[in-house]
Amino acid sequence: MPESIAKVIDGKAVAARVRADVARAVAELREKGVVPCLNVVLVGEDPASQVYVRMKGKACDEVGIRGVTHRLPVSTTEDELLALLKTLNADPEVDGILVQLPVPDHIDPDKVTDALDPARDVDGFHPFSLGMLMSDRPGMEPCTPAGCIRLIDETGIDLKGRNAVVIGRSLIVGKPMAMLLLRRHATVTVCHSRTRNLADVVWTAEVVVAAVGRPQMVKGDWIREGAVVIDVGVNRLADGKLVGDVDFEAASSRASWITPVPGGVGPMTIAYLMRNTVIAACLRRGIDFPSGL
Ligand code: NDP
């Protein structure tokens, strides 16, 4: 086993601090009579989705956000789901709406995302939110990439002018991640399944963000000495163990900082969902952000 030199970025601890800031912000809002409210919609019984939805409900309770979960049967039609979203969009009490993905095959996920009121799009997946991100204008930032930026900030490195390599170009992680890194003036390379010589590209990186969904595909010797490694991947091995997209042990012997899986990016996603809900509540109601948010 190679000797570890990297410092571990404790996502659980950072997420707890973000949630504490959100809880203080919610308490301030409640004193003004405003109770931020998040509605989560789950269609079907996908076991992983059920776990995520439960975790989101629990996080709402913890920070004082009113969390409402709509559990719909797998037989729910696209029209029925869109009708629910229309009702939620029009409800003045609802600040954030999130449809847990994936939706069953007979429902078009793009139609679902498009049907959300962008002002309540706390996941930041609506084309309007993504367009605002692209235009460098304030809006809802997707929770996972926003959480990754916070984790990078925890290391104290200044991203300006740094070479950053993002592996993965999905709309929910890779692409918005690249945009957020660009906003911080990093020099960004985005890799995907057709990238040639991935190892060589990753070796140029001072910051690596891996968001692929392939267990431990990023090898230790791809990592440049001193790089910051953010592992978004969540993969379950045959023996039930959870691992990331990066070979954590091997990469730790070269990186300066690295996130673990579990306990790295995962907790940040829900913490930033809570934060986005409070931001949405303030923006939609035209009130100033509470202190510390
Ligand atoms: P997607 O499947 O949507 O995207 C995966 C990306 O990886 C694609 O862009 C794909 O390229 C690229 N890719 C696939 N194979 C390779 C390869 N061999 N070399 C280089 N790139 C490759 O996944 P997501 O972005 O939704 O999620 C990525 C991972 O992050 C998953 O493990 C997911 O579970 C995890 N995740 C974790 C979250 C958290 O909170 N911790 C939140 C969201 C996701 P191409 O576009 O060419 O197909």
- Give per-residue pLDDT as tens, 123-162: 999 999 999 999 999 899 999 999 999 999 999 999 999 9
Q: Is residue 99 part of a domain?
A: yes
Residue 16 pLDDT exceeds 80: yes
Residues with CB under 6 A from ligand 1: 144, 167-170, 172-174, 191-195, 198, 211-214, 232-235, 265-266, 269
Residue 256 pLDDT exceeds 90: yes
pLDDT band at 1 (very low <50, low <70, confident <90, very high): low
Eight-state DSSP code of residue 105: T
pLDDT for the residue numbered 75: 98
Give the chain's radius of gyration (CA, Å): 19
Distance CA 144, CA 273 (A): 9
Q: Are the beta carbons of 274 and 15 closer than 8 angstroms?
A: no
The residue with tokens 């609506």 is 126
Q: Is residue 25 part of a domain?
A: no
Q: 237 and 166, same structural domain?
A: yes
Q: Is residue 219 part of a domain?
A: yes
Q: Is residue 178 part of a domain?
A: yes
Among 110, 212, 259, 270, say which to mutate for ligand 1: greatest number of ligand atoms within 8 Å of CB: 212
Give the mean pLDDT of 42-66.
97
- CA-to-CA separations, 50 to 40, 173, 237, 279, in angstroms, rounded: 11, 21, 20, 25
Q: 196 and 103, same structural domain?
A: no
Q: Are the beta carbons of 119 and 284 closer than 8 angstroms?
A: yes
Question: In this structure, what token pair is assigned to residue 14?
Answer: 């950072």
Distance CA 177, CA 19 (A): 21
CATH number at residue 52: 3.40.50.10860
CA–centroid distance, 30 to ligand 1, in Å, is 38
- Which residues are known to be catalytic? 56, 100, 123
The residue with tokens 């939609």 is 284
Q: Are the beta carbons of 292 and 21 closer than 8 angstroms?
A: yes
Among 173, 191, 209, say which to mutate for ligand 1: greatest number of ligand atoms within 8 Å of CB: 173
Question: What's the pLDDT tens digit per position in 260-270?
Answer: 999 999 999 99
Beta carbons within 10 angstroms of residue 146's beta carbon: 23
Q: Is residue 20 part of a domain?
A: no
CA–centroid distance, 212 to ligand 1, in Å, is 3
CATH number at residue 243: 3.40.50.720
- The residue from 83, 118, 153 where one domain ends is 118
Give the mean pLDDT of 203-224.
98
Judged on CB neighbours under 10 Å (0-12, 13-18, 19+), 34 is: middle
Beta carbons within 10 angstroms of residue 254's beta carbon: 20
Question: In this structure, what token pair is assigned to residue 273?
Answer: 């969902």
pLDDT for the residue numbered 2: 56
pLDDT band at 222 (very low <50, low <70, confident <90, very high): very high
Beta carbons within 10 angstroms of residue 283's beta carbon: 16
Question: In this structure, what token pair is assigned to residue 201?
Answer: 């590209």
Distance CA 138, CA 120 (A): 14
Cis link prior to 142 (omega < 30° from 0)?
Answer: no
The alpha helices in the chain, defined as continuous H runs, are 11-31, 47-63, 78-89, 109-115, 127-134, 143-154, 174-183, 198-203, 248-252, 265-285
Q: 153 and 95, same structural domain?
A: no
Q: 176 and 94, same structural domain?
A: no
Q: Is residue 7 part of a domain?
A: no
Distance CA 289, CA 284 (A): 11
CA–centroid distance, 167 to ligand 1, in Å, is 8
Residue 292 pLDDT exceeds 90: no
Which helix (H) or strand (E) segment holds residue 167: the answer is strand 163-167
CA–centroid distance, 243 to ligand 1, in Å, is 14
Q: Is residue 203 part of a domain?
A: yes
The range of the structural domain enclosing residue 247 comes to: 142-266
Count of structural domains within the chain: 2
Residue bearing the CA closest to ligand 1, atom 47: 193
Between β-strands 37-43 and 66-72, what pairing exists: parallel, antiparallel or unpaired?
A: parallel
**Residues 6 or more apart in contact with residue 103 via CB below 8 angstroms:** 43, 44, 81, 109, 112
Residue 3 pLDDT exceeds 90: no
Q: 39 and 104, same structural domain?
A: yes
